[in-house]
Amino acid sequence: MKNILVICTGNSCRSQMAHGYLNFYCSDKANIYSAGIEVHGVNEMAIEVMSEDGIDISMNSSNNIDEYISINFDYIITVCDHANENCPFIPSTNAIRIHQNFNDPSKSDLLGLERKENFILVRTEIKNFCKDFTNDNF
């Protein structure tokens, strides 16, 4: 089994969505972890839009990257520029590092239905990325 770590700033939206999709697409081939360089808690709207696509992340926890420092990762995926630029060194010597920036839907000024549609847009982008990643690497 391979170990995959997904990182964003607060481990609340983007990395949680990627964690959910990667767990769905390759749980029989990999252990999936997600973390942030900060801990903000799992975003309720992220839980809602993922649930609408059949992925339950409601029991996920928001974790700090330091919690996983002793795990040897095969892949380290950053899903935001801030985490990519500010992530502390992770001593996984052979890890393949992948970066793909996604907009943070929790930072949007949109309200109501427009806010939810923005979350769905980011969710779809992350879903497609995770499908491609799984197809390319497993």
pLDDT of residue 32: 97
What fold does the segment set 2-133 form as a domain?
Answer: Rossmann fold (3.40.50)
- Cα 49–Cα 50–Cα 56 angle in degrees, nearest 5: 135
- Residues 11 and 32 sit within 8 Å (Cβ to Cβ): no
Catalytic residue among 8, 13, 26, 130: 8
pLDDT tens digits along 83-120: 888 876 777 778 999 999 999 998 877 677 788 999 99
Catalytic residue among 13, 26, 80, 130: 80
Would you call 80 a catalytic residue per the annotation? yes
Task: Provide the residue ranges of all domains of the chain, joining segments of one domain with +.
Answer: 2-133
Residue type, 30: A
Q: pLDDT class for 55, splitting at 50, 70, 90? A: very high
